[in-house]
A and B are shown apart, each in its own frame.
Chain A
Amino acid sequence: MASSDTPKRPWLLALVLAGVTAAVVVALVTSESSGTGATNVGEAGPGPAREDGVAAATPETARATATATATPARPRRCEATRSNPGGTNNYIPDAPELASLGSGFVITGLVRAARGCRPLPGVRIQVWLATETGGEQDNRASVRTDANGRYRIETAPTVPQFGEPNIHVAYADGEYRDVFIRRVVDLDDTRARVDLTLARDG
């Protein structure tokens, strides 16, 4: 069937090559380097992790702060944190409550209610990540927020899971809407902060 002659319609071949090239370029340009919504929240170097509850570590926190401060006369309402794609990867319910998952990397965060923006004490947060001691399915723990709505857990440093070091933080205990977050860090980071603002259904 294949003919051995030169092309009868060279413009068609050129069109195919240009079209495929353009499609590839569009596919790459419209992608996000770490996956949709996977902000880098890692921090490196000495010094304490930020504990002021104001500094924005994620776009959600930034929007929440803006919303909360822009309308002082109304009841405060912080924008609820939304799950991002990939947030549920390797999630297993009811991770054991552990004091740590090793040492060398600290994950902290402030958990607040969307309504009133008040810190939420005693909320169970699950953290999981790949480290040298295990993959994401094995290396997970639950931690509860303190009286000021803060949680903190130390783990072994992250290792790349699927080409990029990343951490997962989730709330899925039923009282508020589930939130599953996948955030990325750099290999030399020693801490990361993931704040959650939880909303009730309806």
Chain B
Amino acid sequence: MAERRRLAALAVPVLVLPAAIALTDAHLAAGPAALVISTLAATLAVSGLALQPLLAAVAGVRLRWHRVLGTVTFALVLAHVGGLFLVSAEDTRFALSPDGPTRARMALLATIALAVVVVLGASRARLPMSTFTWRVLHAFFAALVVILGVGHAVITDGALDGVGTPVLLLLGGAALGGIAYAAIRRAQRFPARR
């Protein structure tokens, strides 16, 4: 219980700090509302990625809050893309096309990996694979989401430039470390049956 309280306390700065940096950045000062909402959604999604493994690590068998935050994070990513469509549909389509820049390709791959993670999580009981295989795949695609998603945010000239960059890197590092920690801890607490 104390562990969950500590996690709840940690969640506040993890959610608030990047969002505050983004919302107070000059990049959004004259931006349309859709861009502000899209950027805020993306920023909260990064925070969600950092918290997700910790929720899994402290959760019991059912992983209720881990599932909730995973769904919310996926929805935030979709909201980010939807907001960009409202800002400029042509730029968004170009970014998602084969001619789009590297940062957009990273974002597209991260979104696909996140969809895989969500599908794996939602259909775990129905998938014909061992617990070990499921855990490895879930952690692998989650790590891909973090590397590509945070990488996309870092190389994008936007509201998380400057002081936002080390915050992004910190969140990304925490997420990757958290994935490894959660995988080890859950394997110890809930070992796969032989």
Give the interface of A toward B (CB within 8 A).
Answer: 1-8, 13, 16-17, 20, 24, 27-28, 31-38, 85-86, 88-90, 132-133, 135-137, 159-165, 187
* B25 → A minimal CB distance (Å): 11
Indicate if the CB atoms of B140 and A2 lie closer than 8 Å: no
Asked whether, in the complex, the Cβ of A135 is within 8 Å of the Cβ of B32, the reply is yes
Nearest-neighbor residue (CB-CB) of B116 within chain A = A20
Residue ID in chain B nearest A35 by CB atoms: B101
Can you pick out 19 interface pairs between chain A and chain B where the beta carbons lie within 8 Å of each other?
A2-B127, A5-B193, A6-B132, A8-B130, A28-B102, A31-B100, A33-B103, A33-B155, A85-B97, A86-B94, A88-B90, A89-B88, A135-B88, A136-B88, A136-B91, A162-B92, A162-B104, A163-B155, A164-B156
A165, B167: Cα distance in complex, Å: 23
Query: A112 CB to closest chain B CB, in angstroms?
Result: 26
- Closest Cβ–Cβ distance, residue A119 to chain B (whole Å): 31
Q: Would you list which residues of chain B between 116 and 159 have a CB under 8 Å from chain A?
A: 124-134, 136-137, 140, 144, 148, 155-158
* Interface membership of B99, Cβ < 8 A: yes
Contacting residues, chain B, for A33 (C-beta < 8 A): 101-103, 155
What residues of B have a CB within 8 angstroms of the CB of A159 in the complex? 27, 30
- Contacts known (A2-B126, A6-B130, A135-B32); A162 close to B99, Cβ less than 8 A: no
Residue of B nearest to A3 (CB): B130
Chain A contacts of B132 at CB under 8 A?
Answer: 6-7
Contact B124 A2 (CB under 8 A): yes
CA of A160 to CA of B133 in the docked complex: distance in angstroms? 42
A20 CA to B100 CA in the complex, in Å? 20
Q: A89, B133: Cβ atoms under 8 Å?
A: no
Q: A6-B130, A6-B192 are in contact. Are A163 and B105 (CB under 8 A)?
A: no
Q: Which residues of B contact A136 (CB under 8 A)?
A: 88, 91
Give me the interface of B with A, judged by CB distance under 8 Å: 27, 29-30, 32, 84, 87-88, 90-92, 94-95, 97-106, 109, 124-134, 136-137, 140, 144, 148, 155-158, 192-194
Among A2, A3, A17, A28, point to the contact of B136 (Cβ < 8 A): A17
Structural contact, B157 and A17, CB atoms closer than 8 A: no
Besides the contacts A5-B192, A132-B30, A137-B88, what 9 more A-B pairs have beta carbons closer than 8 Å? Answer: A28-B102, A34-B101, A85-B97, A89-B94, A132-B29, A162-B95, A163-B103, A163-B157, A187-B157
Q: Using Cβ atoms and an 8 Å threshold, which residues of chain A touch B126?
A: 1-2
Question: Bound state CA distance, A137 and B90, in angstroms?
Answer: 11
Most chain B beta-carbon contacts within 10 A, residue among A24, A34, A38: A24
Docked-complex contact B32 and A4, CB < 8 angstroms: no
The answer to whether residues A32 and B88 also contact, given A2-B129, A6-B192, A163-B157 and a CB cut-off of 8 A, is no
In the assembled complex, the Cα of A20 lies from the Cα of B94 at a distance in Å of 24
Q: Return chain B residues, CB-CB under 8 Å to A161.
A: 88, 91
Given A2-B124, A17-B140, A24-B148, A162:B88 Cβ within 8 A? yes
Nearest first, the 3 closest Cβ-Cβ pairs linking A and B are: A85-B99, A163-B156, A160-B157
Residue contact A2 to B105, C-beta cutoff 8 Å: no
A27 and B105 contacting across the interface, CB-CB below 8 Å: yes
CA distance A133 to B104 in the complex (A): 25
Check A27/B91 contact, CB under 8 A, given A6-B192, A35-B100, A85-B97: no
Docked-complex contact A163 and B144, CB < 8 angstroms: no
Instruction: Report whether A20 and B88 are in contact in the complex, using a CB–CB cutoff of 8 Å.
Output: no
Closest Cβ neighbor of A14 among chain B residues: B136
